[in-house]
Amino acid sequence: MSESGIRPRHTAVTGIGVVAPNGQHTETYWKSVKEGASVLDRITREGCEHLPLRVAGEVRGFDPSALIEETFLVQTDRFTHYALAAADAALQDAGLSSSAADSPYSVGVVTAAGSGGGEFGQRELQKLWGQGSRFVGPYQSIAWFYAASTGQISIRKGFKGPCGVVASDEAGGLDAVALAAQAVRRGTDVIVVGAAEAPLAPYSAVCQLGYRELSTVEDPARAYRPFTSAACGFVPAEGGAVLIVEDLGRAQRRGAAVRATVAGHAATFTGASRWDRSREGLAQAIKGALDEAGCAPEEVDVVFADAMGVPEADRAEALALADALGPHGTRVPVTAPKAGIGRSYCGAPLLDIAAAVLAMEHGQIPPTPGVFDVCHDIDLVTSTARPAELRTALILSRGLMGSNSALVLRRGPGSAA
Amino acid sequence: MTTEITQLTVEELASLMKKAAGVTVDPHDLASRADAPFADFGLDSLGLLGIVGELENRYGRPLPTDAERCKSPRAFLDLVNGALTTGA
């Protein structure tokens, strides 16, 4: 916190932008999350109707042409459209939409991606095999790529500071925020950080069919029920969120509202679909994040769970909480808003961060939609939001390929107390 | 023998810039500033590459390799139309 001597330990979150199945503005997103509404529904995307993946969280009614210039639209996939729109909203929220910084070199961009631009890529590959290589457009070289959103955000806004792309599985969404905080600690003023995904095009959907964790249940009300005895896998989703993180001292000097601080993070790897092993991996990540944050287990006021929705994975997560937090692990309120939204891969932990910041600001723990019969020894918040004084939030994320991450957020000094 | 060759016009180039790169440009503006860099109109190198590919498919034959390196509308039109004429 000190202005002199060592750099501030904490990085401020000063802006949030959300493009989610349950809201394309931060306020509408929070309203839906707080109410515990589920927007999971049958997939309606062209070419997906016949696939065994039946239920997803679609971002509907999103009109990219109203938000993004055509020169950017022609060379980008839907996942980048979401990221560009969320970045705009986050910059505006942070009061940085017109002039983000004194120098373009003081603003960087970090995104995480796990799905890439499948829809764009499929279209061009269909031209390749349908018409020939001469009919593949040159933007195929960049649009599908995991790095596309970082590149396009930085080009569109003229940001020339440190840029990065994290491709470390779904939990990479949390790792990206940690990377951004690290860049700020090393002296960059502002990092635009986030993740948004668009895995609901035919090619992308088919790629997911091999995941044994994928829910193929047809009933949207029963397709994704983490922490219950009826858990039958997860439901994929689109969208994500972008944050503005900056040096705490800088944020306070310019009078920005500090919505939260990034206090600690750690990540581990325990192997693809080895959910039994993820217990230890997740517990180590939690301990590491708490250690970096200088946070005792009892200080954690709420946990945003990974909530894979696979029985052995849910069990491992509940046990990891007990392993890492001790007796507090069975007492701390746990929630999983994504049960009503779906998992937008790397975008999912970003949406959880947004929900955690909003929960701390509003003093409300949102419920886990559609879950009533919890079969693990955790205090899962269900049915309705629970009022609580929230100073510290722990966000957890795991990926299908074996990554485990934990992030500790503290309520911002500028937030309503 | 050149009578059957369709020359690439400024209007067609403007519509190709829109189709391939999403760049909206008035053909009159393009003609009056034909020596300005493509970048001034918002067209990047991949966008020009897309236009070259579109034309090659339309004409059914390759354009000179320098086509995608042209810096301005005039240089591009001259090179493409020269190639169409001589290559007929």
* pLDDT score, position A103: 87
Mean pLDDT of B7-31: 96
- Is residue A417's pLDDT more than 50? no
Mean pLDDT, rounded, for A346-374? 97
Query: What percent of chain A has pLDDT above 70?
Result: 96
Interface test with A, best of B41, B46, B63 (most A CBs within 10 A): B46
Residue A367 has pLDDT above 60, yes or no: yes
Residues A137-184 pLDDT 10s:
999 999 999 999 999 999 999 999 999 999 999 999 999 999 999 999
Does pLDDT of A270 surpass 80? Answer: yes
Task: State residue B4's pLDDT score.
Answer: 53
For residue B84, pLDDT over 90 is answered with: no
Could you tell me which of B5, B14, B21 has the C-alpha nearest to residue B53? B21
pLDDT tier, A9 (very low <50, low <70, confident <90, very high otherwise): low
d(CA A231, CA A223) in angstroms, rounded, equals 8
Return d(Cα A313, Cα A281) in angstroms, integer.
12
At residue A10 the predicted structure's pLDDT band, cuts being 50, 70 and 90, is: confident
Residues of B within 8 A of A134 (CB-CB) are 53, 56-57
Mean pLDDT of B50-68: 93
Task: For chain A, report the end-to-end CA distance as a whole number of angstroms.
Answer: 19
| CB nearest B57 (choices: A134, A139, A142) | A134
Q: Which residues of A touch B56 (CB under 8 A)?
A: 134
pLDDT value for A1: 40
* Ranges of each domain in chain B: 8-86
- Closest chain B CA to residue A139: B46
Q: For all residues of chain A together, what is the average pLDDT?
A: 95
Question: What is the model's pLDDT at position A377?
Answer: 97
Checking if the pLDDT of A5 tops 80, the result is: no
Compute the average pLDDT of residues A207-236: 97
State how far the Cα of A344 lies from the Cα of A200, in Å rounded to an integer.
Answer: 10
**Distance separating alpha carbons of residues A194 and A349, to the nearest angstrom:** 9
Residue B86 has pLDDT above 90, yes or no: no
Q: Whose CA is closest to A388, among A371, A366, A413, A415? A: A366
Full set of structural domains in chain A with CATH: 11-253 (3.40.47.10), 260-411 (3.40.47.10)
Chain A residue whose CA is closest to B42:
A71
Residue A256 has pLDDT above 90, yes or no: yes
Assess whether pLDDT exceeds 70 at residue A3.
no
- The pTM assigned to this predicted structure is 0.94
Query: Which residue of chain A has the CA closest to B45?
Result: A138
pLDDT at A2 > cutoff 60: no
Report the C-alpha gap between A126 and A45 in whole angstroms: 17
Q: How confident is the model at residue A51 (pLDDT cuts 50, 70, 90)?
A: very high
Give the C-alpha separation, A268 to A28, whole Å.
34
Subunit contact B57:A135, Cβ cutoff 8 A:
yes
Residue A212 has pLDDT above 60, yes or no: yes
pLDDT of residue B8 exceeding 60, the answer is: yes
pLDDT band of B87, cuts 50, 70, 90: low
At residue B5 the predicted structure's pLDDT band, cuts being 50, 70 and 90, is: low
Q: Which fold has domain B8-86?
A: 1.10.1200
Q: Mean pLDDT score of chain B, rounded to an integer?
A: 91
A416 has a pLDDT exceeding 80: no
Q: Which of A381, A384, A409 has its CA nearest to residue A260?
A: A409
